[in-house]
Amino acid sequence: MERNRAGRFPAIAESAIIRGLMSQSPPNEPAPAGVGPKMQRSEGIPEGLWLRCPACGDMLFRKVVEEALNVCPKCDHHFRVGAAKRIEQLVDPGSFEEMFADVEPADPLKFVDKKAYKDRLVAEQKKTGRNDAVMCGKGFIKGRPIMLAVMDPEFMMGSMGSVVGEKITRTIETAAEENLPLLVVSCSGGARMQESTLSLMQMAKTSAALARLDDASGLFISLLADPTTGGVTASFAMLGDFIIAEPKALIGFAGPRTIWNTIKVELPEGFQRSEFLQEHGFVDFVVHRKDLRSEIARLVDFCGK
């Protein structure tokens, strides 16, 4: 490799040489058993400090992303967040009171795919610390009392089974009884296949509860996060008095690949993304995550709730 006029290697090559030297053990001093160059290079750097944005590909400092409400500071990509984090971002500090947390899933069909459904449930409960894929309760958003049901993509991708449908239905009914506005945050792959027809029945149950809320002149704000698909889209997610979506969220019933394989027609650019659905009248507003609290409070005030 040739040096430049200043007698130095080019900057890129020089940094590569330095990294190579750092990864090697000192002369005549072997590396500890089981420790290779990769482990030595990462020594002293805690895991999980950095993450890669799936949209722009940049490496991001995790703390910076979390301070920006889990939004990429480079390209505004909205990362998926769990139910607990979503509630923390939406409600006034310390105001959330969880409800219906004692409702637990069962396995009446004794369903088995690659593993038994009951074993899958135990693993998901251990991973998330929650019984199922939704958190429900009462809280305040900028001082406005509100009932919330927030789906959790960290639990079986937010799939809707009997417990999810039951807890959302109870939340809707409580909103009607107490004359409170209702906010449901959808983030789900759809109905839970392991519960078969029982999961599909939740579509009718939640929709019927929303009809009763409408009869009681209740306000329902539906917030669609990435992804909102399948039986969730085909039921309560699209029944809001106001339908809000986060930027570039995937929203649809069947996925774009399934649709293309069925109709064999090239799909438009941005198909099934929130901006596309807003243009075609399926979504009322596309709102950045940092503006959600203000927008929800504005809608509550607008409707006199």
The structural domains of the chain, with segments of one domain joined by +, span: 11-41, 47-79, 81-302
Give the pLDDT score at 43: 56
Task: Report pLDDT digits (tens) over 253-268.
Answer: 998 889 989 999 999 9
Distance CA(144)–CA(91), nearest Å, equals: 9
Give the residue carrying structure tokens 């996925």.
255
pTM of the predicted model as reported, rounded to 2 decimal places = 0.84
Task: Report pLDDT digits (tens) over 65-114.
Answer: 999 999 999 999 999 999 999 999 999 999 999 999 999 999 999 999 99
**CATH classification number, 81-302, choose in 3.90.226.10, 3.40.50.1820, 3.40.50.1010, 3.30.300.20:** 3.90.226.10
Task: Report pLDDT digits (tens) over 222-263.
Answer: 999 999 999 999 999 999 999 999 999 999 999 888 998 999
Distance CA(225)–CA(249), nearest Å, equals: 6
Q: Check: CB of residue 133 under 8 Å from CB of residue 127.
A: no
**Phi and psi for 78 in degrees, rounded to 5?**
-95, 110
Q: Across the chain, where does the E strand assignment appear?
A: 50-52, 59-61, 97-99, 134-141, 144-151, 182-188, 220-228, 242-245, 285-286
